[in-house]
Structure formats: C-alpha cells, structure tokens
C-alpha cells in the first residue's frame, strides 16, 4: 500500500465498510471530523502518523505535552 492508500484504509474505506460513510471518514460539513496534526509529511513517510502533535476531537484541542 502507498501511504495515501494506508490513510484512506483507516478513514474513508473503513467508514464505508462499517456503514458509517454518511457520518465519518472524510472532512465535510455535517460530519464528525476529528483531526490529528503531525510533524512532517505522512505521504512522504507514513510513520509520521505515529508521532501525533495535536488532536482535535469534538471541538476540543489536545496538544502534545511540553518536554
């Protein structure tokens, strides 16, 4: 799998097979849209997704603790 295919498998493809594609799996108005931020480009190196800096869940922002 390419990095993009892996990301899609975990988001939009998973939503489709769970029967939830009308609610989750993509960022669109009216859908649940939790988001993560990572340092770097996960399309260049999908392992970047293992080091999450910020999570936005239910409108609340959670940041990486200061080191």
Looking at domain 3-63, its CATH architecture is Roll (2.30)
Token digits of residue 36? 């993560």
Phi, psi angle pair for 7, to nearest 5°: -65, -45
pLDDT at 44: 96
**pLDDT of res. 58:** 84
Q: pLDDT value at position 61?
A: 94
Show the tokens assigned to 37: 């931020």
Please name the residues in contact with 55: beta carbons below 8 A apart, sequence gap of 6 or more. Answer: 34, 35, 36, 37, 61, 62
Residue 5's SS3 state is: helix
Domain ranges within the chain, ordered by starting residue: 3-63
- Mean pLDDT, 10 residues at a time, the chain of 67 residues: 94 95 88 90 95 91 82
């Amino acid at each position: 799998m390419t990095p993009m295919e892996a990301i899609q498998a975990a988001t939009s493809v998973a939503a489709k097979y769970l029967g939830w594609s009308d609610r989750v799996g993509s960022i669109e108005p009216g859908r649940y849209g939790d988001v993560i931020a990572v340092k770097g480009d996960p399309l260049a190196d999908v392992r970047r997704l293992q080091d999450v800096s910020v999570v936005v869940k239910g409108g609340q922002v959670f940041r990486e603790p200061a080191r």
